[in-house]
Structure 1
Amino acid sequence: MSKQFQFKLVLLGESAVGKSSLVLRFVKDQFDDYRESTIGAAFLTQTVTLDDQTIVKFEIWDTAGQERYKSLAPMYYRNANCAVVVYDITQASSLDKARTWIRELQRQADPSIVIALCGNKTDLTARRQITQEEAKKYADEEGLMWFETSAKTGEGVSEVFTAIAKKLPLSAPSSRTSAARGTAAARQGVDLNRQTTTQGSNEACNC
Structure 2
Amino acid sequence: MADSANAPKPSSSVKLVLLGEAAVGKSSLVLRFVNNDFQENKEPTIGAAFLTQKCNLPSRTIKFEIWDTAGQERFASLAPMYYRNAQAALVVYDLTKPTSLIKAKHWVAELQRQASPGIVIALVGNKLDLTNDSESGQGDAEGAEGEESGDARKVSTDEAKSYAEEENLLFFETSAKTGHNVSEVFTAIANAIPETSLKSTRGPGVSNAVGRGGDEQRVNLNGPREAAKEGCAC
TM-score in terms of structure 2 length? 0.79
- The 5 Å alignment of 1:1-207 reads 1-51=8-58, 53-125=59-131, 126-171=151-196, 188-194=197-203, 199-207=214-222
1:24 Cα offset (Å): 0.0
Q: Please give the root-mean-square deviation of Cα atoms over the aligned residues, in Å.
A: 1.2
Secondary structure of the structure 1 residue equivalent to 2:41 = coil
1:59-112 Cα shifts (integer Å, max 9, x gaps): 000000000000000000010000000000000100000000000001000110
Higher mean alpha-carbon deviation, 149-158 vs 191-200, is at: 191-200
Shift of 1:10: 0.1
**Is contact 2:35-2:216 (8 Å) kept?**
no
Give, in angstroms, the shift of residue 202 of structure 1: 1.6
Distance 1:196 1:110 in 2: 31
Alpha-carbon distance, 1:201 to partner: 2.2
- The Cα of 1:170 is off from its aligned counterpart by 2.6
Alpha-carbon shift at residue 121 of structure 1 (Å): 0.2
Q: 2-side partners of 1:168 and 1:205: how far apart?
A: 28
CA spacing shift, 1:108–1:32, aligned 2, 3 Å = same
Separation in structure 2 between the aligned mates of residue 166 and residue 196 of structure 1, nearest angstrom: 21
Alpha-carbon distance, 1:195 to partner: 5.1
Distance change in 2, residues 1:49/1:99 (3 Å): same
8 Å contact from structure 1 (residues 5, 170) kept in 2: no
Give 2:123's aligned amino acid. Answer: L
Residues 6, 56 of structure 1: 8 Å contact kept: yes
Q: For structure 2, which runs of at least 5 residues remain unmatched after alignment?
A: 1-7, 132-150, 223-234
TM-score of the pair, normalised by structure 1: 0.89
SS at match of 2:78: helix
Work out the percentage of aligned pairs sharing the same amino acid.
57
Q: Which runs of 5+ in 1 are unaligned?
A: 172-187
Task: Name the structure with the higher strand share.
Answer: 1
The residue identity in structure 2 corresponding to 1:21 is S
Cα separation, 2, equivalents of 1:195 and 1:98: 39
Letter in structure 1 aligned against 2:94: D
* Residues 4 and 195 in structure 1, CA contact (< 8 A), matched pair in contact too: no
Q: Which residue of 1 aligns with 2:229?
A: none
Hey, what's the Cα distance between the residues in 1 that align with 2:195 and 2:49? Answer: 26
The 3-state SS of whatever aligns with 2:195 is: coil
Q: Distance in 1 between matches of 2:73 and 2:174?
A: 24
Measure, in 2, the Cα distance between the counterparts of 1:116 and 1:46.
17
* Residue 169 of structure 1, CA deviation: 1.8
Larger deviation, residues 195-204 vs 28-37: 195-204
Runs of 4+ in structure 1 off by over 3 angstroms are 195-198
